[in-house]
Amino acid sequence: MATAGAAGSSGRTYSFKVVLLGEGCVGKTSLVLRYCENKFNDKHITTLQASFLTKKLNITGKRVNLAIWVRRSLMLGSCHHRDAFEYKTVKNWVKELRKMLGNEICLCIVGNKIDLDKDRNVSVEDAESYAESVGAKHYHTSAKLNKGIEELFLDLCKRKSRAESDPDFGFSGF
């Protein structure tokens, strides 16, 4: 997940763009629908190209507008047992994002579907180690169980505001 965007002048309204990238069937759309609309559908619905949702937040008195894009990978294939393949693909995307956008983005690597932990092919330790090596933060989420999603987006807003040098953008209790 990468973000880019600009903050409003001196702390009134912040507008951040969030782009979720990933292979098909990993739960990107489910994650965003859970976050923006508190909805979850057990039936798999493929995102054909891209989808777009918004979320307005008030965080310690600061208004934040999130524009969240979900971008489907062009890779086609089975929706099962693809973690190791996706892990390699993530590494390629990170290289490309850094090459195109430099270091001015906040990267997050999200391990979604933690409710299916028994099917994991990439260890948590490997994923966290890789995230740290590229300056990203690793998150564990489940759209189905509504776990870790709020924390992901709140922390992302916090990191993005720091990147834009607003020391007043605080999070109490975070």
Per-residue pLDDT tens for 53-81? Answer: 999 998 888 899 999 998 766 443 444 44
Q: What is the CA radius of gyration of the chain?
A: 16
Query: Which of 9-23, 52-66, 159-173 is predicted most confidently?
Result: 52-66
Per-residue pLDDT, 73: 60
Give the closest residue to 87 by CA, choosing from 128, 52, 47, 59: 128
SS3 101: helix
Average pLDDT over residues 22-32: 87
pLDDT, tens digit, 9 for 90 and up, residues 71-123: 766 443 444 444 555 667 788 888 888 888 888 788 899 999 999 988 887 88
Predicted local distance difference test score (pLDDT) of residue 71: 79
User: How high does pLDDT run on average in the chain?
Assistant: 79
Question: Domain segments of the chain: what residues?
Answer: 2-163
**Helices in 2-121 by DSSP H: which ranges?**
28-37, 83-101
Level-2 CATH architecture, domain 2-163: 3-Layer(aba) Sandwich (3.40)
- Stronger pLDDT, 3 or 84, i.e. the higher one: 84
CA 129 to chain centre: 17
Tokens of 117: 């932990």
Reduced to 3 DSSP states, what percent helix, strand and coil does the chain have, rounded to the nearest 5?
A: 35, 30, 35
Asked whether the CA dihedral 60, 32, 98, 121 is positive or negative, the reply is positive
